[in-house]
Amino acid sequence: MPPHDPLTEPLFARTAATVGGALVLLFVGALWREWRRRRRPEERALIVPVLTASAVIAVFLLAMFTGGVVLACFAAAVAGVGAVEYSALVRLRRIYAGLLVLWSAGGVALALFGAAGHLLLLPVVLALVTTVVPIVSGRVEGALREIGAVLFGYVYIGLPMAYLVLVRTEQSWGLQLLLTVVAAAWLADTCAYTVGSKAGGPKLAPRVSPNKTWSGLAGSVAGAVLGVLLVHRLLGLPGRPGALVLLGVVIAAGAVWGDLVESFLKRDFGVKDAGTVLPGFGGVLDRFDSLFITIPATYYLVLGGHLLDR
């Protein structure tokens, strides 16, 4: 699929204006927070996270609207850096880490050519390919753990990024769905943090992520549903209200689930952040974890349930 000129996409101007306005408000809020920190230095500074988020969102949006090779390069970069962070996190040997990174990039390339029927075969073939390493090298100690870690890493990180490209490439409604999912997932994260930190209450999974609460989960659901409805309203997209609410609930569930998966990985290996490539957030995994489960889940939900007017 060749790349598009973003300016020719009917939704581009409205999306750019909406996102730009939201980012300006965020930046103003960050400046106000910085002013408050003179009296409350314990509060977290937001300038750096907002600037980082603005840059990531701008690049992501341009890639989604352009599609084709540009989106594939973006997805491959996210998958590759995420795979490197994951490999360091779970302490994979170099040969296994290299296989994970290469397989993640290869899956994105396959999705670019619309090979939807072959994507789900990639984890199976990867599991077989990785067994060659201990056979050839003779290093069998810990090989099963390494093979399992590679397979899980691909399903968790590499495969969802292939679906990101597949959705945009194969479906006429792909851009509409991706805009909805990205906006709703990130708004779900924001509302979960805001509501959870203010309301507190019982812990959602205290041994996995001690800061997450059931009130934060409720905030996540509310934020995702609000995000879906706002995107469709502001951009003039069609959709039945009940179906859009269901889509929001699924997005919230996927976002929280993906975040909890990363949390138990970091807790298992005693790491606070997955990386440092994104100032104010940590690593790629820390920023994109809410999309890893959400993108494939919503793709199949819409594909089978006709939730969007296509």
User: 170, 190, 208 — which closes off a domain?
Assistant: 170
Residues 204 and 305 in one domain: yes
Domains in the chain, number: 3
Domain residues for the domain of 30 are 1-65
Q: What is this structure's pTM? A: 0.88
CA atoms within 13 A on the CB side of 120: 4
User: 149, 170, 191 — which closes off a domain?
Assistant: 170
User: 121, 143, 170 — which closes off a domain?
Assistant: 170
Whether residue 225 is predicted with pLDDT greater than 90 in this model: the reply is: yes
Exposed / middle / buried, residue 207 (Cβ in 10 Å: 0-12, 13-18, 19+): exposed
CA–CA dist 117, 137 (Å, integer): 33
Mean pLDDT of 183-205: 85
Residues 134 and 51 in one domain: no
Whether residue 189 is predicted with pLDDT greater than 70 in this model: the reply is: yes
Q: How confident is the model at residue 41 (pLDDT cuts 50, 70, 90)?
A: low
Residues 131 and 218 in one domain: no
Residues 6 and 80 in one domain: no
Whether residue 97 is predicted with pLDDT greater than 90 in this model: the reply is: yes
Structure tokens at 230: 């706002």
CA–CA dist 20, 14 (Å, integer): 10
Residues 221 and 267 in one domain: yes
CA–CA dist 64, 83 (Å, integer): 21
Residues 209 and 233 in one domain: yes
Whether residue 86 is predicted with pLDDT greater than 90 in this model: the reply is: yes
Which of 121, 151, 105, 168 minimizes the C-alpha distance to 299? 168
